């Protein structure tokens, strides 16, 4: 190996989103959650997110956990604070509105937060958009997500408790 190729230099361009093998699974999981399936005879696509949302509480918690894992992975691989805040807001909107019975399920079919987040990350890597720390908003988004997670868990507990009392 020539000496000039042994160590990376700072003048080399940063890898694009597609070139980073470690992040390809983020795209695959986002597609699985948001647009893996197509309604026959139409161009309408949907993923596991709205299907899991049909299961009260457990479905909402599981989709929140998957979206959170994707967000953490994107953070570990160079997403700036500003883009992470936007991604967190997408997840927060998806979780809050998706938790509404019936209307939330319809909302989940249309609002594809994971694919929106992948698009934000692509724009961040390719064009340098959404740079900056955004630390204050990041803390607010994390607290908001924790509150939503806690309220959803509490709602599930209350639903099970009500069901237990109702059917005794």
Give the chain's domain count. Answer: 1
Does 8 map to a domain?
Answer: no
- Which one-letter DSSP state was computed for residue 78? T
Residue 73's domain comprises: 17-166
Does 10 map to a domain?
Answer: no
Does 92 map to a domain?
Answer: yes
β-strand partners of 38: 45
The per-residue pLDDT for 8 is 45
The per-residue pLDDT for 128 is 65
Does 133 map to a domain?
Answer: yes
Does 11 map to a domain?
Answer: no
Kindly give, in sequence order, each residue whose CB lies less than 8 Å from that of residue 111, ignoring residues fewer than 6 positions away: 93, 94, 97, 98
- The dihedral built from the CA positions of residue 114, 117, 123 and 128, taken in this order, carries a sign that is negative
The per-residue pLDDT for 152 is 83
Three-state DSSP at 106 gives helix
> From first to last of its 168 residues, what are the pLDDT tens digits of the chain?
455 445 444 444 454 555 466 678 889 999 999 999 999 999 999 999 999 988 888 888 889 899 988 888 888 777 777 888 888 889 989 988 988 888 988 998 999 999 999 998 888 877 765 555 556 666 777 788 788 888 888 888 888 899 889 888
What is the CA angle 105-110-115, rounded to 5?
Answer: 115
pTM over the 0.85 mark: no
Does 12 map to a domain?
Answer: no
The per-residue pLDDT for 47 is 93
Does 91 map to a domain?
Answer: yes
The per-residue pLDDT for 22 is 60
Does 1 map to a domain?
Answer: no
Single out the residue of 93, 71, 83 nearest to residue 26, CA to CA.
Answer: 71
The per-residue pLDDT for 91 is 92
Write out the two tokens for 139. 């803390």
Given a contact cutoff of 8 angstroms between Cβ atoms, the answer to whether 68 and 146 are in contact is no
């Amino acid at each position: 190996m020539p000496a000039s190729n042994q160590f990376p230099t700072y003048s080399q361009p940063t890898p694009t989103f597609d070139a980073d093998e470690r992040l390809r699974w983020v795209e695959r999981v986002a597609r699985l959650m948001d647009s893996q399936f197509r309604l026959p005879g139409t161009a309408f696509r949907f993923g596991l997110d709205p299907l899991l949302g049909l299961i009260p509480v457990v479905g909402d918690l599981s989709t929140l956990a998957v979206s959170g894992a994707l967000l953490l992975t994107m953070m570990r691989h160079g997403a700036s604070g500003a883009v992470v805040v936007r991604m967190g807001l997408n997840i927060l909107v998806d979780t809050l509105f998706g938790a509404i019975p019936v209307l939330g399920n319809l909302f989940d079919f249309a609002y594809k937060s994971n694919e929106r987040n992948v698009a934000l990350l692509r724009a961040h890597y390719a064009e340098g958009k959404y740079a900056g720390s955004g630390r204050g908003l990041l803390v607010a988004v994390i607290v908001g997500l924790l509150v939503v997670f806690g309220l959803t868990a509490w709602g599930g507990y209350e639903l099970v408790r009500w069901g237990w009392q109702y059917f005794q």
